[in-house]
Amino acid sequence: MIAAWPSSTGGDEYALTIGSGGGTRVLILPALFDEANKLRHFTVEVMRRLEQSGIASVLPDLPGCNESLSAIEAQSIETWREASTAAASFFGATHVLTLRGGALVAPFSLPVLRYAPATGSSILRAMMRARMIASKEAGIEEDRETLLERGRREGLELAGYRLGAQMIGELETAEPSGGAALANFAQGDLSGAGLWLRAEPDHDPAQAEALAALVVSELTK
């Protein structure tokens, strides 16, 4: 079900909710930027498998993403953390599951399970590498340090997202955050390569089943 929730940035954002009841409810914080697109199907399938075990979940749109009316260039790690905290409160989340860069914006107030957590610097590095490769194929030479310096001053277009200077600066040093980390699930726990490494969005039912099983195991201890 699609539900609206009041974001900390003002106005409403949308969220996908699966499952109901007054028990465990997991806030899902998706991978960030282009990785979010590659893992979207996988993320929803994990939610469906959690529902089969009686665990409800909610996947909010972060401000500036998907159907959001907020400007992406106005967002930062901090505004996304504030938004995730607001979503957790509104939907009554008891736990958080982060995917990849979602670990950077987890609320401080809830226990967190992290799947393949990524640092901000690794995400930024991958997006800059992709931009430089695309530019080179178009006959344009770009230097990483020059690009990064420009991004710190005025923002930068990366992976189809117009990121503001604050976001660029925060990504350089951002580390997984949030409340008490209940568990960190490595990609090796699921078997196979991470779907975010593929050139196009894809899905692996076995990986979704494996991650859901790990989450259920942690939440039912």
pLDDT at position 133: 93
- Distances from the Cα of 164 to the Cαs of 37, 98, 123, 156, 207, in angstroms? 20, 23, 15, 7, 34
Mean pLDDT score of the chain, rounded to an integer?
94
The answer to whether 186 and 180 are in contact (CB under 8 A) is: no
The answer to whether 127 and 34 are in contact (CB under 8 A) is: yes
111-152 pLDDT, tens digit per residue, is: 999 999 999 999 999 999 999 999 999 999 998 999 999 999
The answer to whether 115 and 50 are in contact (CB under 8 A) is: no
* Topology, domain 2-118+176-219: Rossmann fold (3.40.50)
Domain layout of the chain by residue ranges: 2-118+176-219, 120-175
75-114 pLDDT, tens digit per residue, is: 999 999 999 999 999 999 999 999 999 999 999 999 999 9
Closest CA to 212 of 5, 34, 45: 45
- Bridge partners (DSSP) of residue 25 are 56
The answer to whether 31 and 38 are in contact (CB under 8 A) is: yes
Rg (CA), the chain: 17
pLDDT at position 25: 97
Tokens of 46: 């994990």
pLDDT at position 162: 96
155-213 pLDDT, tens digit per residue, is: 999 999 999 999 999 999 999 986 788 899 999 999 889 999 987 888 899 999 999 99
pLDDT at position 8: 80
31-60 pLDDT, tens digit per residue, is: 999 999 999 999 999 999 999 999 999 999
Task: Kindly report the backbone phi and psi dihedral angles of residue 189, in degrees, each rounded to the nearest multiple of 5, phi listed first.
Answer: -70, -20
70-80 pLDDT, tens digit per residue, is: 999 999 999 99
